[in-house]
Amino acid sequence: MENSEDRDRLIEVLKSATKVVSPSQFFAWTQGPLQALLPHEIIICGTSEGHDQNLHMRFFSATRYFKTEHFEAACNRQTGFIPRVVQHWKSTREPCLVPPPWKETPCDPEWGDLLHRLELRNMAAHGQLSPQGNLNAWFGFFRVRDLGHHTGVLLELIIPCVTATYARMLNFEASAINHPTSVVNILSRREMQVIELIRDGYTNQEIAARLGISVMTAKNHVQSIRTKLKVKTRGQAVIESIHMGIIRSSRDSQ
């Protein structure tokens, strides 16, 4: 740790992580205590799926510019660059920073262009092995502020905590699927349309134009959604809606 402020922020990250259970709480944690320690706008999370070491990926974003289609392009197993980044981590097992804060380039120079093309800008990524030595989890932080040598040190310190916290969230989701909460009519038909557009990155002005309503009416719908779902932000509303089964994670989901 470079200074006492960073040490205090790290302690707060570790303490607050123990209270995280649901997806909305995980998102709030990444954008609260974790944000204070490692400022970023997007996190892509991957956890191992069985013996083939394929990762199940999902993202949490605080920017409207990064949309589902960007995520799907980045994570495509045949053409995406995230699988290449993960493969690179498997060979080095060290934090991967793009652009690197040193003159030598330790990874594919094409990644920088891809990061900008997919609205990710830059990347600080690291993984964690299982006790058996297999890939257990991988996390990529994007649109990171002040990417530097210290970022790799921070990743080494926080990834075990992020992995455990994310696993707890996944266990909570699995439990909720097995014991679902009734969500019938929790949102109106119009609110369903609005939350789907929020998921796809639309602003209030764009939602109003698309649905043929005033901007003020769109704002009122957003406020009503947040109130019904008991969340504070649009991003948390999307995450909670997906978790509760109100909407799918992608407009292209079948």
Segments making up each domain of the chain, as ranges: 4-178, 189-243
pLDDT digits (tens, 9 = 90+) for 159-174: 999 999 999 999 988 8
pLDDT of residue 253: 42
SS3 47: strand
pLDDT of residue 178: 63
d(CA 220, CA 121) in angstroms, rounded, equals 33
d(CA 27, CA 24) in angstroms, rounded, equals 5
Do the beta carbons of residue 157 and residue 122 sit within 8 Å? Answer: no
Give residue 1's pLDDT band: very low, low, confident or very high (50, 70, 90).
Answer: low
pLDDT digits (tens, 9 = 90+) for 90-129: 999 999 999 988 765 557 778 989 999 999 999 999 999 9
pLDDT of residue 248: 81
Number of H helices, E strands in the chain: 11, 5
Q: What is the pTM of this model?
A: 0.78
Mean pLDDT of 67-82: 92
pLDDT of residue 243: 78
Q: Would you call the peptide bond into 99 cis, given omega within 30 degrees of 0 as the criterion?
A: yes
Query: Between 178 and 36, whose confidence is greater?
Result: 36
Amino acid at 54: N
Q: 4-178 and 189-243 share one CATH topology?
A: no
Whether the predicted pLDDT of 152 surpasses 60: yes
pLDDT of residue 216: 94
d(CA 28, CA 30) in angstroms, rounded, equals 6
pLDDT of residue 68: 85
Amino acid at 214: S
SS3 59: strand
pLDDT digits (tens, 9 = 90+) for 202-240: 999 999 999 999 999 999 999 999 998 889 899 899 988
pLDDT of residue 177: 62
Percent share of the chain, pLDDT over 70:
90
d(CA 149, CA 38) in angstroms, rounded, equals 13
Do the beta carbons of residue 42 and residue 66 sit within 8 Å? Answer: yes
CB atoms within 10 A of CB 242: 20
Give residue 70's pLDDT band: very low, low, confident or very high (50, 70, 90).
Answer: very high
Do the beta carbons of residue 32 and residue 16 sit within 8 Å? Answer: yes
Residue 92 burial (C-beta neighbours within 10 Å; 0-12, 13-18, 19+): exposed
Q: Mean pLDDT score of the chain, rounded to an integer?
A: 88
pLDDT of residue 181: 53
Query: Between 247 and 34, whose confidence is greater?
Result: 34
pLDDT of residue 132: 86
4-178 adopts what CATH topology? Beta-Lactamase (3.30.450)
189-243 adopts what CATH topology? Arc Repressor Mutant, subunit A (1.10.10)
Mean pLDDT of 169-187: 71
pLDDT of residue 230: 87
**In the block, which residue shows the tokens 């197993």?**
77
